[in-house]
Amino acid sequence: MFSRRRVFTGLLFPLILLGVNLSASKAYAQRVRTEPIVYTAPTLDLITDQSVIKSCLGDATSALVRLNARATSSDGHPIVYRWTSPVGRIVGDGPAATWDLSGLRPGYYEAFVEIDTGNADRSCQAFSSIGVLVECPPPPPPACPNVAIICPDRVQPGQPVTFSSTLSGSLGNVTHAYTWTISNGRIIEGQGTSSIRVDTAGLEGQTLTATLSMGGYSLDCSANCSVQFPAPLTCRSFDEFPAVARNEEKARLDNFAIELQNDPSTSGYVIVNPGQHGRAGEVQTRSTRIVDYLVYSRRLDGRRIITVVGPARPELMIHLWVCPQGSTPK
């Protein structure tokens, strides 16, 4: 009897130990599940100093963009930055970098940054990107300089005139070529320079226009200037009468005097044509009487009255002319 109970006790002991171990493991597992690990992921924000840059293919100037990554690590581990882009060149291995987009065609391009935080046991990564638009602005419109022509102040028919030019504003790095054209007359000197002289013979009563075209520019950079020449100075016949009674002669001379007084710049010509059978001294007597009446009775300046003896006619004739200064009856 005694020996059987001993065998039974020996068999139960391992089972008891196994139960104890299972209970301990179950208790440890329950304790682990009730204590979760709390971990905060890093934050990452990416900004740039400009989202649009002006750059054209072949530009010699650089097109730099400044990149800034704002990242945080909750557990205080250091942050490692890795910058990449399929285009351009990024310089920098920290939170700030410079992106050189020089020489790229117009388009939209992206830069990428990846950060790594943690240690050998545990690490976490974050990723972000940002885009920049590269634009090639159209070239500025071509510009002409301010071309001006200085016209002569006074012109006289038959006297040469001078046209000069001035340039100001956007002159550009070009060799200026002066080409003059005129509507009338003849350029006698200065073609190809900034000033010309023009022969104006025969231009009485006409308009002379000088045009300057500036070569060396892609546009038509030109200017013009016009001057008006006075009409030819010609006399006009006012009255003609034979030897008439004194009162009728005075009436005709009164009208002549009024015409001269209305335009003080004119002169009065009195042409006396002697008769073929006239008396000696008759022409001188008529001329003196007419001048005395105009000067003393009509108060005209005697220097404005010119007497002329014309060719003989069948009978004595008196011809009155009104003439601008510098002209004579024909």
Task: Report the pLDDT value the prediction gives residue 217, as an integer from 0 to 100.
Answer: 79
Same domain for 47 and 131, yes or no, is yes
Task: Report the pLDDT value the prediction gives residue 11, as an integer from 0 to 100.
Answer: 47
Nearest CA-CA partner of 225 in 175, 176, 161: 161
Instruction: Tell me whether residue 192 is exposed, middle or buried, using C-beta atoms within 10 angstroms of its C-beta: 0 to 12, 13 to 18, 19 or more.
Output: exposed
pLDDT digits (tens, 9 = 90+) for 91-134: 999 999 999 998 888 999 999 999 888 665 566 888 899 999 99
Please count the other Cβ atoms lying within 10 Å of the Cβ belonging to residue 217.
20
What CATH number corresponds to the domain at position 169?
2.60.40.2410
Give the residue numbers spanning the domain of 189. Answer: 146-228
Identify whether 14 is part of a domain. no
Average pLDDT for the chain = 84
Nearest CA-CA partner of 67 in 42, 45, 34, 87: 45
Identify whether 12 is part of a domain. no
pLDDT band at 240 (very low <50, low <70, confident <90, very high): very high
Instruction: Examine the pLDDT at 320 and tell me if it is beyond 50.
Output: yes
Task: Report the pLDDT value the prediction gives residue 314, as an integer from 0 to 100.
Answer: 92
Identify whether 79 is part of a domain. yes
Residue with tokens 């934050």: 43
**Cα-atom radius of gyration of the chain, to the nearest Å?**
56
pLDDT band at 2 (very low <50, low <70, confident <90, very high): very low
Same domain for 221 and 155, yes or no, is yes
Domain count, the chain: 3
Identify whether 214 is part of a domain. yes
More confident residue, 15 or 225: 225
% the chain with pLDDT above 90 = 52
Instruction: Examine the pLDDT at 216 and tell me if it is beyond 90.
Output: no
Task: Report the pLDDT value the prediction gives residue 219, as an integer from 0 to 100.
Answer: 82
**Domain end position, chosen among 228, 263, 283:** 228
Lowest-confidence segment of 48-57, 106-115, 191-200, 236-245 by average pLDDT: 48-57
pLDDT digits (tens, 9 = 90+) for 157-195: 789 999 999 988 877 777 888 999 999 999 999 999 999
Cα→Cα distances 40→74, 89, 117, 130, Å: 6, 33, 11, 24
Same domain for 156 and 190, yes or no, is yes
Same domain for 220 and 240, yes or no, is no
**What pTM value is reported for the model?**
0.45
Identify whether 190 is part of a domain. yes
pLDDT digits (tens, 9 = 90+) for 251-275: 999 999 999 999 999 999 999 999 9
**Domain end position, chosen among 228, 249, 270:** 228
What CATH number corresponds to the domain at position 93?
2.60.40.10
Instruction: Examine the pLDDT at 239 and tell me if it is beyond 60.
Output: yes
pLDDT digits (tens, 9 = 90+) for 104-116: 889 999 999 998 8
Instruction: Examine the pLDDT at 206 and tell me if it is beyond 70.
Output: yes
Instruction: Enter the tokens of residue 36.
Output: 């979760």
Task: Report the pLDDT value the prediction gives residue 193, as an integer from 0 to 100.
Answer: 94
Task: Report the pLDDT value the prediction gives residue 210, as an integer from 0 to 100.
Answer: 96
Please give, one letter per residue, the 3-state secondary structure of the chain: CHHHHHHHHHHHHHHHHHHHHHHHHHHHHHHHHCCCCCCCCCEEEEEECCCEEECCCCCCCCCEEEEEEEEECCCCCCEEEEEECCCCEEECCCCEEEEECCCCCCEEEEEEEEEEEECCCCEEEEEEEEEEEEECCCCCCCCCCEEEEECCCCCCCCCCEEEEEEEECCCCCCCCEEEEEECCCEEEECCCCCEEEEECCCCCCCEEEEEEEEECCCCCEEEEEEEECCCCCCCEEEEEEECCCHHHHHHHHHHHHHHHHHCCCEEEEEEEECECCCCCCHHHHHHHHHHHHHHHHCCCCHHHEEEEECCCECCCEEEEEEEECCCCCC
Lowest-confidence segment of 39-53, 77-91, 118-132, 246-260 by average pLDDT: 118-132
Q: What does the angle CA 113 – CA 114 – CA 117 come to, to the nearest 5 degrees?
A: 140
Average pLDDT rounded to a whole number, residues 212-227? 88
Task: Report the pLDDT value the prediction gives residue 20, as an integer from 0 to 100.
Answer: 46
Task: Report the pLDDT value the prediction gives residue 175, as an integer from 0 to 100.
Answer: 82
**Domain end position, chosen among 135, 164, 183:** 135
Same domain for 241 and 318, yes or no, is yes
pLDDT band at 58 (very low <50, low <70, confident <90, very high): confident
